[in-house]
């Protein structure tokens, strides 16, 4: 388990002090993808750099399987690895395989282990065929996949992923997500920051939301969405709807404390759309059927984590403004 307690990082620049991380207490257990979310400048990268032993915290503690990175940096570095999507973390003049040899030797991976591990990792990220090609001839997606393999070369127990799919095409990003999910399923602890909330929603079992370096909230993506009062939208199509149906829908929405969207489709069918935090699909359809309408289609869109985070950030602004 990686645990932080009251982590704080200040950057001093002349007379001004910027508090990038302000009292964060986090847990990153094995076997789960843990998300770290926040707007630009929230303190995500600084936190990850502290966990990766690249920055010293101003105060607070970090423990990696009970080890203190300040006292035992070498042992900690053997347990963790960092992959930052925005940065080129491999050498352009070397081939994929040479890069992995190089980084494996930096981590003191025994030669007998390193050879087979490199083959496995190249296969995992789909670069077996390009292993002998110099990286400057790789596409951006290939270089990023090699960075993932590089991040696994020391077989870390914990993987710190800072925007791993940044700028990648959708199919390549999807492949990477599969790799990340598999690694967590196999027992690795993963910390993920990402601007793609759908990615966080798909992968993370638990998410910390931070703003201005401070803890705002945490929970599973579903819990966060529910807690911030996200609205689910119900869309119902009613062919040949009478004015009574329209009136019944409007009255139902008013009783539920919302407003119904009423549109006519090309074929004259009434398309009703109602947003509400509660379970309203059932009562809405009963109101329609009760007024003599028939249903041709029903679609429920769940509230997204994106809505939840935006709501949280608005709330944080209100508190700090």
Ligand X SMILES: Nc1ncnc2c1ncn2[C@@H]1O[C@H](COP(=O)(O)OP(=O)(O)OP(=O)(O)O)[C@@H](O)[C@H]1O
d(CA 87, CA 166): 10
Residues 6+ apart with CB under 8 A from 264: 270, 271
Shortest distance (Å) from residue 161 CB to ligand X: 13
> Residue 139: what are its φ and ψ, rounded to 5°?
-75, 170
- Determine what percent of the chain falls in helix, strand and coil, rounding each to the nearest 5: 40, 25, 35
Shortest distance (Å) from residue 315 CB to ligand X: 18
Rank residues 46 and 225 by Cβ distance to ligand X and give the closer one. 46
Can you tell me whether residue 108 is helix, strand or coil? coil
Shortest distance (Å) from residue 35 CB to ligand X: 13
Q: What stretches of 80-153 show up as alpha helix (H) in DSSP?
A: 96-106, 111-124, 140-151
Rank residues 45 and 225 by Cβ distance to ligand X and give the closer one. 45
Residue 230 CA to its chain's centroid (Å): 18
For residues 66 and 237, the answer to whether their CB atoms sit within 8 Å is no
Shortest distance (Å) from residue 280 CB to ligand X: 36
Q: Is 142 left (phi over 0), alpha (psi -120 to 50) or beta?
A: alpha
Residues in contact with ligand X by CB under 6 A are 11, 13, 18, 20, 38, 40-46
Shortest distance (Å) from residue 305 CB to ligand X: 16
Rank residues 166 and 296 by Cβ distance to ligand X and give the closer one. 166
**What does DSSP say about strands 33-37 and 189-193: parallel, antiparallel, or unpaired?**
parallel
Rank residues 24 and 33 by Cβ distance to ligand X and give the closer one. 24
Rank residues 53 and 154 by Cβ distance to ligand X and give the closer one. 53
């Amino acid at each position: 388990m990686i645990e932080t307690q009251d982590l704080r990082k200040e950057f001093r620049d002349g007379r001004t002090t910027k508090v990038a991380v302000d009292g964060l207490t986090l847990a990153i257990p094995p076997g789960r993808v843990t998300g770290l979310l926040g707007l630009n400048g929230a303190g995500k990268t600084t936190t990850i750099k502290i966990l990766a032993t690249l920055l010293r915290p101003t105060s607070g503690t970090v423990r990696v399987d009970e080890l203190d990175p300040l006292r035992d940096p070498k042992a900690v570095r053997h347990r963790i690895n960092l992959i930052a999507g925005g940065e080129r973390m491999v050498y352009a003049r070397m081939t994929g395989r040479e890069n992995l040899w190089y980084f494996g030797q930096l981590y003191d991976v025994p030669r007998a282990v390193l050879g087979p591990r490199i083959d496995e990792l190249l296969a995992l990220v789909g670069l077996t065929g390009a292993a002998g090609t110099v990286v400057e001839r790789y596409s951006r997606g290939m270089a990023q996949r090699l960075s993932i393999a590089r991040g696994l070369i020391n077989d870390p127990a914990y993987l710190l992923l800072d925007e791993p799919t940044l700028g990648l095409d959708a199919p390549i990003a999807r492949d990477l997500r599969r790799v990340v999910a598999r690694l967590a399923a196999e027992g690795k602890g993963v910390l993920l920051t990402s601007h793609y909330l759908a990615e966080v929603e798909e992968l993370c079992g638990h998410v910390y939301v931070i703003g201005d370096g401070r803890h705002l909230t945490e929970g599973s993506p579903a819990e966060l969405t529910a807690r911030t009062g996200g609205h689910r939208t119900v869309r119902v199509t009613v062919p040949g709807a009478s004015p009574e149906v329209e009136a019944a829908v409007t009255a139902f929405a008013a009783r539920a404390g919302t407003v119904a969207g009423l549109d006519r489709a090309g074929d004259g069918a009434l398309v009703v759309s109602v947003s509400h935090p509660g379970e309203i699909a059932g009562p809405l359809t009963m109101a329609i059927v009760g007024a003599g309408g028939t249903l041709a289609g029903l679609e429920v869109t769940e509230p997204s984590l994106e809505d939840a985070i935006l709501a949280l950030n608005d709330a944080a602004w209100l508190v700090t403004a």
